[in-house]
A and B are shown apart, each in its own frame.
Chain A
Amino acid sequence: MPSDAATAPHAAVGRATVRVDGPLKVSGAARYTSDFHFPGMLYAVPVGATIASGTIAAIDTRAAEAMPGVRKVYTRHNIGKFYRVPTSSKALINERRPPLDDDAVHYYGQYIALVVADTFEHATAAARKVKASYSAVTNPNVSTSLAPAMGDASGKLPANEPRQPDSERGDPDAAFASASVQVDHTYNTPFETHSSIELHASVATFDGVRFTLYETTQAVMNSRQLIAQMLGVPTEDVRIVTEFLGTGFGGKGSVWPHSLLAAAAARDLRQPVKLVLTREETFECVGHRPHTQQRIRLGATSDGKLVSLRHDFIYSRARLTEYRENCGESSSFMYSTPNLRITSAFAGRDTGVATTMRGPGAVPGMYALESAMDELAVALKMDPVELRLKNEPAIDESKNIPFSSRHLKECLTTGAEKFGWSRRKPEIGSMRDGDVILGWGVAACTWMAARIPAQASVMFNADGSVRVASATQDIGTGTYTVLAQMVSQLTGVTVDRVKVVIGDTTLPPGPFSGGSMATASLVPAVAQAAREAIGRLLAAAAEGDSHFDKASVAQLDFHQGRVHRKGQQPNEGRSFEDVLAAARLGHVEGHGKSAGTRDEEHPAYSTHSFGAHFVEVAWQPEIARLRVNRAVTVIDAGRIINPLMGRNQIEGAVTMGIGMALFEETNYDARNGMPVNSNLADYIMATHADTPPMDVIFLDYPDTHLNEMGARGIGEIGLAGIAAAITNAVYHATGVRVRDLPVHIEDLLIAA
């Protein structure tokens, strides 16, 4: 077996490889969901509720039905049957209520009807003619003040969730009370909307028995399972296809109601139905990052050793979901402290349901924790890098197990050196570049690493190609390319000869793209599949290829795509396509199947990625202009399979973090519960012009406890901590400590 592949000169893993799907994307040949067209295609446009809480009294569809091109207008009375998902199901679904289930309205924009017409324009025009009246309308609660105030009278637990702490050790109350330095602040992060460039879409076809749904999903297998369940058909009768995604940021992990509407219309009309949400609808109906309010209490000795850490958080929760934003996920192991408690609660809100958004839990959580660490450093008059180095734990103190691979200290020291941190003057507003005041901030970051179950197949083809297949999908992060690199690494066949087939539930069940787990999960399955395929290739050579006359399988080896005798060079052997030709085989195939690590009850290691962000902001008080000038990010995420795409992920996350820190917030109108800034002009995100020079460094320590290639995941880690690094820099420049994201110009006008 090619155990030396990693060190071979042709090693594909670790090489900066351009995206194998790049030409398809830049030429427009890549087919995204809404690109699929079929003969007889009809277009569906949903009608959303214009209240956030109440009951539908009546829906008048007559005017809409009389509009040109309209085929049918659906309400709950004629959409056909949907079934519920049992609460025992662990599948990814944040809104379990089937669409049009009853007359109750739980949030603004909730679908109450569906118009299907011969064109998108006709359907849109008719949808506006559907008139609903409501009863029992109540004022929606969309408040961003997540009262009741944190904690009960004793301060031990939030009032509305009387249950066990999420994590606890020692006596954090006594330790905090007697700590010589204390920090106690509450941080807010706003509702945020994913705002992927590709709108959610569903193209549904039904042949009388089977559904084929072209979906914008980060989880084809999950979609198949849930949609089959909700349509009440066998899983085998649903096929999900997602060839390309214009990203998802977690917003396309769950199954959303519009997919069911499209399928039901196709089921009823027996014609293909295309449903593409509007940008406004994506703010209403397909999830968001919930609002969070987090109180952090840190107690430390006068020389900066943490003695107590408490993290009590509340998150907004819509009526229709159990989605939990676990802000405290990282706080239990990030720093060494003998006394700690993390508690959580939620506050009910009349909004669409929340869902995972890039770095769910840890991203808002690390904003709060890393802001508090900066405030502690200020209180201690200690350098914030030094404070973090001083509180580095030897093990995961929340579980009392070692870290599989943790290099946070090196992230901090390497970043500090690259950034020039030693030149930092701690006094507020003390660093200048001409008339511009500079602020320097730092924050650490972390994100989980785990594997989920995965299957894959690898096939050597007689045409000289190698095919790797798995029912996973590429959300734009580079799964196509990473799979090609893995197979190249395992077989020695160059990347350009590897055909990657994903995004289709007819393939071996693959992992969802979420939690930064897809790559790590695929490694063992693909490795096993490749080895099995190589084994079969060697058997074919031994049996069917006279070139290896009388050789046994044990005497053969495989390198650089060539079968050869052990002890000989690959070029003395035969290419695999020649072997297949000699054996008169079209292909040989291997399968791989690997279990997940995420639900291990007693893991031997605590497995996480780590990193550090260093940020410089430029502050011009005379015009209240704040910009991010530069960022240095050091990431410890195991072996980086592709440094080009890896850097791309971190740069994208830092850019998104600039948006999180300075711009992004979804505003709900308290009068009707409507997300008001539901377009890309009013929902402010970072543009290219806001993107500073970024220096991304990977430490590249393989984490072989997770998989043989040592790869963890890099999709989310870069967004953790970055908002805190920016607000810490803002404080350094302006003296204004912003504890409610995003930083607004109006917050800074008081600075000068």
Chain B
Amino acid sequence: METFTFSRAADPAEAIMAGAAASTAQQGAEVRFVAGGTTLIDLMKLDVETPKRVVDINRLPLAKVERAPDGGLKIGALVRNSDLAHSADVQRDYPVLSEALLSGASGQLRNMATTGGNLLQRTRCIYFRNTDTPCNKREPGSGCSAIEGFNRNLAVLGTSEQCIASNPSDMNVALTALEATIVIQGVQGERRVPIGEFFLLPGDTPNRETVMQPGDLITHVLLPPPHPGARSHYLKLRDRASYEFALASAAVVLASEGGAIRHARVALGGVGTRPWRSPEAEAALLSKPATRATFAAASEAAVRGAKPYSQNGFKIELAKRCLTSALATATA
């Protein structure tokens, strides 16, 4: 761990001002906000993150889950994963989010990890975390060790020749299926970014993962009002039963009427370089009967174009089974 200065922000403006002094809010940021610390501290110990300044934002008044005026939900960036998962509103109206949160990490980690921090969770690619090996995400231009190395848990969707790192979050997959909006306070004031535009594909700049700019502070996550009659489900597949990142996961939100699917939102986890919304799968579901055949067709559509690497080709088949099963559960 490199030496850094530590301060505590009294209000959002102070945090934003501190953050704005950095040259980037992406890999290599000189200023980092710390909330739960479950990703940042870990990466600082590994020298993957080497901020010169760490600003504690835990005392900012952003720890509430509130009903939004439109009937949706307004989630503070500092709401702990455990609290969000057990929120009565979330459990009643957005069960897919509660299920996703509870499938992630461990009880201790969920008690610390926050909503904003989870959005910014970094990949678990082992080469990203090991400073002795090349990694384009950590050190642009150094090369990708994963493409020819151990890539069993990495992405098959959205990859580039520079990076195949997967987004490890469960929460983000559910938020993607729920069409969440990220509220960001920055030096220019507030802006609202749909989650589908929040995460970037790696392309030639895998070091850039989100639209976050220096000074940007995630303050809230907004969920639209629950779709009438919709049911949702999150299914996570992994080697062991607990405490492991997804090999494949699926978040689905479905509503049927008159024997046909009228509303479908599908996102995959563990297989994409970002939480993977699948409009192709949604199109394959819309107006179709909720049958195994429909689900199988949607699953095929979801992984069309997926690119297998040396060890992770099985994820394509696994993702299909995962999505098919999640759809069946949500409509059972």
Is B321 a contact partner of A627 (Cβ separation < 8 A)? no
A583 to chain B, nearest CB (A): 57
- Give the CA-CA distance A667 to B130 in the complex, in Å: 15
Is B239 a contact partner of A745 (Cβ separation < 8 A)? yes
B324 to chain A, nearest CB (A): 7
- Give the CA-CA distance A745 to B236 in the complex, in Å: 13
Whether, in the assembled complex, B6 has its beta carbon less than 8 Å from a beta carbon of chain A, the answer is no
- Give the CA-CA distance A674 to B145 in the complex, in Å: 12
Which single member of A623, A662, A669 contacts B239 (CB below 8 Å)? A662
B241 to A, closest residue via Cβ: A689
New A-B contacts (6) at CB < 8 Å, excluding given A681-B124, A689-B241:
A623-B322, A624-B321, A669-B149, A671-B145, A677-B150, A689-B240
- Give the CA-CA distance A662 to B238 in the complex, in Å: 12
Q: Mark B312-332, 1 if CB is under 8 A from A, else 0.
A: 001001100110110000000
Which single member of B124, B243, B321 contacts A623 (CB below 8 Å)? B321
With A622-B321, A669-B150 as given contacts, are A677 and B241 in contact (CB-CB < 8 Å)? no
User: Contact size class for B?
Assistant: 20 to 34
Whether, in the assembled complex, A625 has its beta carbon less than 8 Å from a beta carbon of chain B, the answer is yes
Whether, in the assembled complex, A35 has its beta carbon less than 8 Å from a beta carbon of chain B, the answer is no
Is A627 a contact partner of B241 (Cβ separation < 8 A)? yes
- Give the CA-CA distance A676 to B125 in the complex, in Å: 10
Whether, in the assembled complex, A539 has its beta carbon less than 8 Å from a beta carbon of chain B, the answer is no
Which single member of B153, B243, B245, B314 contacts A749 (CB below 8 Å)? B314
Can you pick out 5 interface pairs between chain A and chain B where the beta carbons lie within 8 Å of each other? A125-B2, A684-B244, A685-B240, A746-B314, A749-B318
Whether, in the assembled complex, A663 has its beta carbon less than 8 Å from a beta carbon of chain B, the answer is yes
- Give the CA-CA distance A684 to B126 in the complex, in Å: 14
In the assembled complex, which residues on chain B have CB atoms less than 8 Å from the CB atom of A662?
A: 239-240
Q: Which A residues have a C-beta under 8 Å from some C-beta of B?
A: 50, 68, 121, 124-125, 128, 622-625, 627, 662-663, 667, 669, 671-672, 674, 676-677, 681-682, 684-690, 744-746, 749
Is B241 a contact partner of A682 (Cβ separation < 8 A)? no
With A68-B3, A749-B314 as given contacts, are A688 and B242 in contact (CB-CB < 8 Å)? yes
Classify the interface of chain A: helix, strand, loop or mixed. loop
In the assembled complex, which residues on chain B have CB atoms less than 8 Å from the CB atom of A125?
A: 1-3
In the assembled complex, which residues on chain A have CB atoms less than 8 Å from the CB atom of B324?
A: 622
CB-CB contacts below 8 Å: B1-18 with A:
1-3
Is A663 a contact partner of B239 (Cβ separation < 8 A)? yes
Q: Mark B125-144, 1 if CB is under 8 A from A, else 0.
A: 01100111100000000000
- Give the CA-CA distance A672 to B126 in the complex, in Å: 14
In the assembled complex, which residues on chain A have CB atoms less than 8 Å from the CB atom of B235?
A: 623
In the assembled complex, which residues on chain B have CB atoms less than 8 Å from the CB atom of A681?
A: 124, 243-245
In the assembled complex, which residues on chain B have CB atoms less than 8 Å from the CB atom of A684?
A: 239-240, 244
In the assembled complex, which residues on chain B have CB atoms less than 8 Å from the CB atom of A624?
A: 237, 318, 321
In the assembled complex, which residues on chain B have CB atoms less than 8 Å from the CB atom of A671?
A: 145, 148-149
With A128-B47, A672-B133, A746-B314 as given contacts, are A667 and B150 in contact (CB-CB < 8 Å)? yes
CB-CB contacts below 8 Å: B94-121 with A:
none
Whether, in the assembled complex, B31 has its beta carbon less than 8 Å from a beta carbon of chain A, the answer is no
Is B126 a contact partner of A687 (Cβ separation < 8 A)? no
Is B1 a contact partner of A623 (Cβ separation < 8 A)? no
Which single member of A124, A622, A686 contacts B1 (CB below 8 Å)? A124
Which single member of A68, A676, A745 contacts B318 (CB below 8 Å)? A745
A625 to B, closest residue via Cβ: B237
In the assembled complex, which residues on chain A have CB atoms less than 8 Å from the CB atom of B244?
A: 681, 684
A124 to B, closest residue via Cβ: B1
Counting from the closest, the 6 A-B pairs by CB-CB distance are A689-B242, A746-B314, A689-B241, A687-B242, A690-B241, A623-B325
A578 to chain B, nearest CB (A): 53
CB-CB contacts below 8 Å: B301-316 with A:
314
Whether, in the assembled complex, B174 has its beta carbon less than 8 Å from a beta carbon of chain A, the answer is no
- Give the CA-CA distance A625 to B326 in the complex, in Å: 14
CB-CB contacts below 8 Å: B41-83 with A:
47
A122 to B, closest residue via Cβ: B3
- Give the CA-CA distance A662 to B150 in the complex, in Å: 18
B149 to A, closest residue via Cβ: A669
B287 to chain A, nearest CB (A): 25
The residue in A128, A667, A682, A744 that gathers the most chain B C-beta atoms within 10 A of its C-beta is A682
The residue in A625, A685, A689, A744 that gathers the most chain B C-beta atoms within 10 A of its C-beta is A625
- Give the CA-CA distance A272 to B239 in the complex, in Å: 44
CB-CB contacts below 8 Å: B271-322 with A:
314, 317-318, 321-322
- Give the CA-CA distance A687 to B240 in the complex, in Å: 7
In the assembled complex, which residues on chain A have CB atoms less than 8 Å from the CB atom of B318?
A: 624, 745, 749
Is A663 a contact partner of B240 (Cβ separation < 8 A)? yes
Is B241 a contact partner of A676 (Cβ separation < 8 A)? no
CB-CB contacts below 8 Å: B132-174 with A:
132-133, 145, 148-150, 153
B240 to A, closest residue via Cβ: A690
In the assembled complex, which residues on chain A have CB atoms less than 8 Å from the CB atom of B325?
A: 622-623
Whether, in the assembled complex, B247 has its beta carbon less than 8 Å from a beta carbon of chain A, the answer is yes
- Give the CA-CA distance A77 to B43 in the complex, in Å: 33
- Give the CA-CA distance A688 to B130 in the complex, in Å: 28
Is A682 a contact partner of B126 (Cβ separation < 8 A)? yes
A620 to chain B, nearest CB (A): 9
- Give the CA-CA distance A386 to B156 in the complex, in Å: 47
B121 to chain A, nearest CB (A): 13
- Give the CA-CA distance A682 to B325 in the complex, in Å: 26
- Give the CA-CA distance A669 to B132 in the complex, in Å: 12
